[in-house]
């Protein structure tokens, strides 16, 4: 997995933890994002990624979080841009 994508995923995990600690996202939202981040890490790390599918799932999450959690959505979109830069 590319260092840039790993950095975006690390930033997303940090934002998730920060938003959860501040009460900005609930446990279900946190779990949804953590599962998605782990899926991206696992699939890309194993070389088995459906990059288009992962990018779509990340973008759907960004759309859902945009109005209530714009900083989380922005970090998700950074990961999407990096992921789609892999030649999709």
How many domains is the chain partitioned into structurally? 1
Provide the whole-model pTM. Answer: 0.77
The predicted model gives 12-20 an average pLDDT of 85
**Contact call for residues 54 and 79 (beta carbons, < 8 A):** no
The region that residue 69 occupies, defined by phi over 0 for left and psi between -120 and 50 for alpha, beta otherwise, is beta
Write out the residue range of the structural domain in which residue 80 sits.
3-84
> Could you tell me the two tokens for 19?
């938003």
d(CA 61, CA 47): 23
33-42 confidence digits (pLDDT tens): 889 889 888 8
27-41 per-residue burial string, b: 16 or more CB within 10 A, e: under 16: eebbebbeebbeebb
Neighbours of 88 (CB within 10 A): 10
The predicted model gives 8-36 an average pLDDT of 85
């Amino acid at each position: 997995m590319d260092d840039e994508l790993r950095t975006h995923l690390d930033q997303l995990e940090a934002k998730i933890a920060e938003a959860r600690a501040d009460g900005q996202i609930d446990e279900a939202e946190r779990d949804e994002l953590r599962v998605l981040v782990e899926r991206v890490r696992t699939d890309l790390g194993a070389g088995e990624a459906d990059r288009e599918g992962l990018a779509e799932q990340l973008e759907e999450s960004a759309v859902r979080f945009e109005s209530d959690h714009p900083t989380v959505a922005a970090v998700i979109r950074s990961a999407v841009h990096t992921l789609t830069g892999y030649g999709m």
